[in-house]
Structure 1
């Protein structure tokens, strides 16, 4: 059985983006260059980045607030509308000098053929205003999720972690880059296998991996470190020891956004007073479900319950 998520209050902060999909058929190669010609027949827009984290938490029934920055443009308007439709309380700081990040994916025969990114960095003044709002919104949250996509929206992440710690709110971080010192003092860090290797170096055994993970946890003063390991599942490292969850055996269509689903599920579970190992178990199930869907997607409570019953 799952906890009742209706009273779970989750605050998501981070880099948001608009995921655009152009779907079409591929029947020939271009005469101009050796590339496929895609006849686009359908388009979709979905919230991406931290916005995808928020919609995943909302899809589980939690009460979700999202704080972020977007441009004063059509893509920013689309994101605000999409998130409102998915029951996310959105506080967007709109920056006239910022182009809302867009990831355009061209899909042919259920396979991604091309991705085009549009992005700029937000201004310092807008980020300072966002930090002031963060302090106000903390009071209404049980758990804070900081979703770092390296787009500049979490420039003040150290202050955010300090503020969350001062109010005794668990803070979960999905990291980016190799400067993990900025995440010092967080409750839980969720790097994937490649991100962890970039920071800690490679390993040749489970024992060596555990040693590196526990050392990083101690260096950053984390309560826990969760390394998501794709087909190998995910491993939680705490002072109490290690907990490993094996990956579900299923056909994988798309891993984009799987990390968003994992940290959103962890946040909702912890906001519902679940233990860390319980939260990791359910997040692992959610990850197994979402990689079977195309593009950034969400997982419902009914889907989780079905997997738990199996």
Structure 2
């Protein structure tokens, strides 16, 4: 697929689809033979707008857009489960930007689709920026791309119920250690249970991947979000004052264990955000993205923004 430097998500409204401007109009369109799979691969991200979808119709819409919704098992972001594999979007304070990333690109399996639903639009700001993964990869300096070729090593320190960051019970949605062992074995991870009831997990993952249909190579890792430099100097300094980097809730190195330079991390973060296109929310909007072709994030906001998210294979 040729890279379009002017790429933006495709907006689908009742007029363009020849559908009624109602939730039933969208449901009827999605239930028809509409070629949605091909449409998503072609445009990478789709915005459904003007149908007046509410939380009451959302389950039926999700069943059509995400026929096999996945649990957020091994997810590293703070979320609240609000339905059948439906979650709040990442619950970071509203004044912070969430940098670009592909959902669970650090894991051995990741969702192929993400669906966002605007249950309540923010007072101001709060856009979901989306970035073409090909453009993001091409925006990086050759030196940075080359350094990441062998991949990265992610480290998680998950506490057993009390501590900094997420617990292993929340992360794996179970309190059964045997189930966690089975999951991590299947993931090809290395892990050890600690005396304090927590678990340390290490995974070696690639820095890029190719889309299974288009063959496009895209930037596909979360090194900038797992690296302490991505937290900013003040936060990083505070954490270093109370613990070693190896003991942080999450950290990342190059595949051989050598440190990733802070300037590489900030370049990845900043160029991803610079290359992104903002999707501004209106209540009832839905955003469907191909999670390999497109990364996403969040702009700061004011007001009671509520975005729900679900994912599927």
TM-score by length of 2: 0.27
Higher helix proportion, which one? 1
Q: Which has the higher contact order (CA 8 A, sep 6+)?
A: 2
